[in-house]
């Protein structure tokens, strides 16, 4: 399983764009990059997944450079309700096991 490294914590003000970068230097050719969000007292929730270049959905964008050794989750115009822990995971294409790290604790303040 590829190991991921991401900042322990980040702070932001409401309305700003937040970019959380994750490094995964030993990602394998068929691995996907997946991000989950977790609020206190809840299980993680899928946000976005990508393989290369850019993926966008109604919640976030995911940018993956050509070498795929890192990825950036972009949250546009965050609100207080975006305060959560964000996990970057590398998922084998077989679907086996998710290797959660410690995640990035994002705090959004007014």
**Max CA-CA distance within the chain?**
42
Instruction: Identify the burial level of 64 via C-beta atoms within 10 angstroms of its C-beta, where 0-12 means exposed, 13-18 middle and 19 or more buried.
Output: buried
Ranges within 25-64 binding another protein (CB under 8 A): 30, 32, 34, 41-46, 49
**Shortest distance, position 97 Cβ to another protein, whole Å:** 5
**Shortest distance, position 53 Cβ to another protein, whole Å:** 17
Decide: is 96 part of the binding site for another protein (CB under 8 A): yes
Which one, 71 or 87, has the nearer CB to another protein? 87
Q: How is residue 15 written in tokens?
A: 């309305």
Ranges within 7-26 binding another protein (CB under 8 A): none
CA dihedral (52, 102, 47, 75) positive or negative? negative
Which one, 96 or 110, has the nearer CB to another protein? 96
Nearest to 2, CA basis, from 73, 75, 93, 76: 93
Which one, 91 or 108, has the nearer CB to another protein? 91
Tally Cβ neighbours within 10 Å of residue 18: 20
Residues that bind another protein (CB under 8 A): 30, 32, 34, 41-46, 49, 85, 87, 91-103
């Amino acid at each position: 399983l590829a190991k991921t490294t991401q900042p322990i914590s980040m702070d932001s003000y409401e309305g700003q764009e937040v970019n959380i970068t994750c490094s995964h230097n030993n990602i394998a050719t068929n691995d996907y990059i997946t991000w989950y969000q977790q609020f206190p007292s809840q299980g993680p929730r899928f946000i976005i997944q990508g393989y290369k270049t850019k993926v966008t959905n109604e919640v976030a964008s995911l940018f993956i450079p050509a070498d795929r050794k890192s990825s950036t989750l972009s949250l546009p115009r965050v609100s207080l309700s975006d305060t959560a822990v964000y996990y970057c995971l590398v998922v084998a294409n077989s679907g086996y096991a998710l290797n959660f790290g410690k995640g990035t604790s994002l705090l959004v303040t007014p």
